[in-house]
Amino acid sequence: MHRRAALIALAAVAAIAVLVWLASSGGPRAPQPQAALTEQAPTPTPAPEQRIMLLFAGGDGLLHPELRSVPLPAEVDERIRVVLRELLAGPGAASRLAPVVPYAASLEAVFIDEQGNAFVDLSAPPEPLAGSSTELLLAYGVVDSIILNCPEVKAVQILFGGREVATLAGHLDLSRPLALNKRFIAGS
Amino acid sequence: MKPKLTFLLTLAICCGTLSAQETTGALEFQFGERAVVAPRFGTKVEVVPVLELVGAEVTYSQAAGAWGVVLGEHVLQFATGHKVLLVDGTLHEAGEAPVPSPGGVAASLPYVERFLLSPLGLRLEPIAGGYRIEHGARFADPVTIRPAVADFGTTTTLVLTLSRAAAVTAVEGPGGTVEVRFADAAPQLDTSAPFRSRRVRSITRHDAELSIQLASGIGLLSWRSLDDPPRLTLELGPARPTPVPAPVQTLPLGDSGPRPIVLDPGHGGDDVGARSRDGLVEKELTLALARRVARALEARGYRVRLTRDDDQTRALTDRTALANRLDALLFVSLHANASTAPSVTGAETYYMSLDGPSDAAAAATAELENRAGQTAGEPTALDLILWDLAQAEVLNESAELALAVQGRLNALAGTRDRGVRQAPFVVLTGATMPAVLVEFGFLSNPDEARRLAEPEHQQQVAEAIAAGIEDFVGR
């Protein structure tokens, strides 16, 4: 997969999302045909709840799993969105764990290429991060959480603010997709 | 003419006798009293029987996807589908790639002679139905040239760093060119680091020469050949009436001392790294510690170089490149860690992780090949292949070095053992020698940061790292 193509595709996804949002939220709308009272509009079947495993930072500087039940769509890109939404929301209220992304990040876009590489675009940190431990837990917390719950994904590249970065804190090579790496999960 | 095309044409001319032998069926190779029949595979020939005939040990590394050839002190590494190979640790561009075959790997006869047999001091002589392998390489060992240019007010300095010492001269040529001539080596141009200059238009290779095209009115003012690393420095500026200058100084080529240990104080300049609650800054701490480690190693008789000796910004890739250029014995990058959890303490030592999806690596290779040379400072296809071929070879040694250093750090009172780990760190990418990154403590833990600020503790940590290095070297 050419990363440049992935970035273009990400931009295209973002552009389409903006268009859809504009079309659905503003501007004059054509009158919609009324359905007959006797006919019920088909309601989408809610995604079945499934258990997912999320990885959060422990006080030992390693990743620790937390299980959570959430509606999980069938489409892989939607599943990635759900996993990342839950991951970015942080550990449960009673947990002693900490978020792996140590700032209020949001997921901007997701793209998957034909080789199974997922490209996820997170909002950039407000200030430089420090420490290889911080960098490793962020990267593999995201990468491993996605791949463990979406086996179709072979590797994940994290973009920040729509850009690929060589490294986030001066250590880990983030310039290409990272595969599952359980070395930083406690007990592995 | 493009260098690669020139190279291929040179191959075709030099190996004209070989092409006459390229027929269908197997070829017999004789070496001394022994002989072997190597099957043909299309226009290529099976490589393994030929190399085993001359007594080389041929292995295939699944992890690196690369072939290794060892004969005496020579080590060759190459991979199917890649046009570059490592000859005794130096990267060479071959212009063509070996291919997978029923016998493992096949290559053209020019490739076999030029890149596999010549480095072993052997050549091919045609005989009826095949070739006789004889001692005496037809080709001199190639030398790779990495150019770097800096424009100043009215002059420009062009530095051509050579992969090995070679007899070389520079003269002004026709049409505003400078010709760099190699007496006993085939030059190859490393184009992975593009340059910009107002006075140097291009650098191209023609057989055993480099041709440097200068801007109008610019000439060669002086040149000098220097060692450690082997390099040629050319001063360029307004052309003089007498066009052929004599060299200002020629220093003797050859090894000027033992291979150095390169210590890399992490971060620096704009990149401050981690910071403790009390204001201790990682870039300052790593430099202080590196100086202490250097003194401890020098006291043990080692030669040491630092990637930075003051508060300057250095690209991660430049740090490894320096170690490669110096043909360093070891590369040790020094860092202080930080965690979002203040409770985390301890020391850990990393070496390179090569794991990853092969298709992703292949895709990355293709993508990098597409943009190779477009953006300075970013990894290139050569960097990646260097990483694949070279780092895999030294991976076990890197693991041993990491274990040795970590073992000594663990012996320090009050230092928690976080173990030896692998991770794809940028600064370890492409190192052609055993390379590790040491995280000697957490600045995010107030107690550990306080200890790391104490000169006595710094000295203990430095002595432990130096002792670990010595344990590895003397193993």
Range with the poorest average pLDDT among B85-94, B129-138, B145-154: B85-94
Whether B198 is in a domain gets the answer yes
Helix (H) or strand (E) holding B368: helix B358-371
Please report the sign of the dihedral spanned by the C-alpha atoms of residue A102, residue A103, residue A107, residue A110.
negative
B437 and B295 part of one domain:
yes
Contact assessment for residue A162 and residue B368, using Cβ atoms and an 8 Å cutoff: no
Whether B255 is in a domain gets the answer no
- Tell me what percent of the residues of chain B surpass a pLDDT of 90: 39
pLDDT of A94 reads 87
Closest residue of B to A100, CA-based?
A: B340
CA atoms within 13 A on the CB side of A100: 30
Chain center to CA of A122: 8
Range with the poorest average pLDDT among A139-143, A154-158, B201-205: B201-205
Q: What integer is the mean pLDDT of A121-129?
A: 87
Per residue in B373-416, pLDDT tens?
333 344 444 445 545 555 566 788 899 999 999 999 999 888 89
Determine whether the interchain pair B275/A130 forms a contact, defined as Cβ–Cβ distance below 8 Å: yes
Confidence band, pLDDT 50/70/90 cuts, at residue B138: low
Whether B92 is in a domain gets the answer yes
B215 and B284 part of one domain:
no
B225 and B267 part of one domain:
no
* Of B135, B164, B196, the domain-final residue: B135
B291 and B440 part of one domain:
yes
Per residue in B443-468, pLDDT tens?
999 999 999 999 999 999 999 999 99
Contact assessment for residue A146 and residue A83, using Cβ atoms and an 8 Å cutoff: yes
Of B341, B425, B437, the CB nearest to A173: B425
B118 and B148 part of one domain:
no
Confidence band, pLDDT 50/70/90 cuts, at residue B139: low
Q: Give A151 or B89, the one with higher predicted confidence.
A: A151
Domain interval for residue B232: 143-250
Q: Which of B277, B316, B333, B339 should we substitute to test contact with A (largest number of A Cβ atoms within 10 Å)?
A: B339
Which residue, A175, A179, A166, A164, is CA-closest to A115?
A179
Per residue in B235-271, pLDDT tens?
888 876 433 333 333 233 334 568 899 999 999 999 9
Structure tokens at B253: 């080529």
pLDDT of B442 reads 96
Q: What is the ipTM of this complex?
A: 0.75
Q: What is the distance in angstroms between the Cα of A57 and the nearest Cα belonging to chain B?
A: 8
Instruction: Give me the residues paired with residue B438 across strands.
Output: B334, B349
Determine whether the interchain pair B357/A2 forms a contact, defined as Cβ–Cβ distance below 8 Å: no
How far is the C-alpha of A54 from the C-alpha of A64, rounded, in Å?
Answer: 8
pLDDT of B162 reads 85
Number of structural domains chain B divides into: 3
pLDDT tops 60 at residue A3: no
Structure tokens at B134: 């004889």
Give B425's DSSP letter: B
B103 and B188 part of one domain:
no
Q: What is the distance in angstroms between the Cα of A63 and the nearest Cα belonging to chain B?
A: 12
Residues 6+ apart with CB under 8 A from A154: A115, A116, A117, A147, A177, A179, B357, B359, B360
How far is the C-alpha of B264 from the C-alpha of B261, rounded, in Å?
Answer: 10
Which residue, B214, B212, B301, B218, is CA-closest to B257?
B301
Structure tokens at B197: 């200059």
> What does the radius of gyration of chain A's CA atoms come to, in whole angstroms?
19
Whether B256 is in a domain gets the answer no
Whether B348 is in a domain gets the answer yes
* Of B250, B275, B303, the domain-final residue: B250
B337 and B430 part of one domain:
yes
B80 and B213 part of one domain:
no
B363 and B448 part of one domain:
yes
* Of B206, B228, B250, the domain-final residue: B250
Contact assessment for residue A170 and residue B316, using Cβ atoms and an 8 Å cutoff: yes
pLDDT tops 90 at residue B17: no
Identify the CATH number of the domain in which residue B304 sits: 3.40.630.40
Whether B167 is in a domain gets the answer yes
Q: Which sequence spans correspond to the domains of chain A?
A: 3-13+46-184
Per residue in B34-55, pLDDT tens?
999 999 988 899 999 999 999 9
Closest residue of A to B427, CA-based?
A: A171
Residues 6+ apart with CB under 8 A from B209: B179, B180, B181, B182, B187
Identify the CATH number of the domain in which residue B147 sits: 2.60.40.3470
Q: How far is CA A54 from CA A65, A85, A90, in A?
A: 5, 11, 9
Identify the CATH number of the domain in which residue B107 sits: 3.30.457.10
Q: What is the distance in angstroms between the Cα of A26 and the nearest Cα belonging to chain B?
A: 41
Range with the poorest average pLDDT among B115-129, B188-202, B339-353: B188-202
pLDDT of A26 reads 36
Contact assessment for residue B265 and residue B334, using Cβ atoms and an 8 Å cutoff: yes
Residues 6+ apart with CB under 8 A from B231: B159, B160, B161, B162, B225
pLDDT of B304 reads 95
How far is the C-alpha of B172 from the C-alpha of B391, rounded, in Å?
Answer: 40
How far is the C-alpha of B337 from the C-alpha of A134, rounded, in Å?
Answer: 8
* Residue A3 with chain B: CB contacts under 8 Å: 364, 367
Per residue in A62-111, pLDDT tens?
999 999 999 989 899 999 999 999 999 999 988 889 999 988 899 999 99
B327 and B468 part of one domain:
yes
pLDDT of B240 reads 61
pLDDT of A41 reads 56
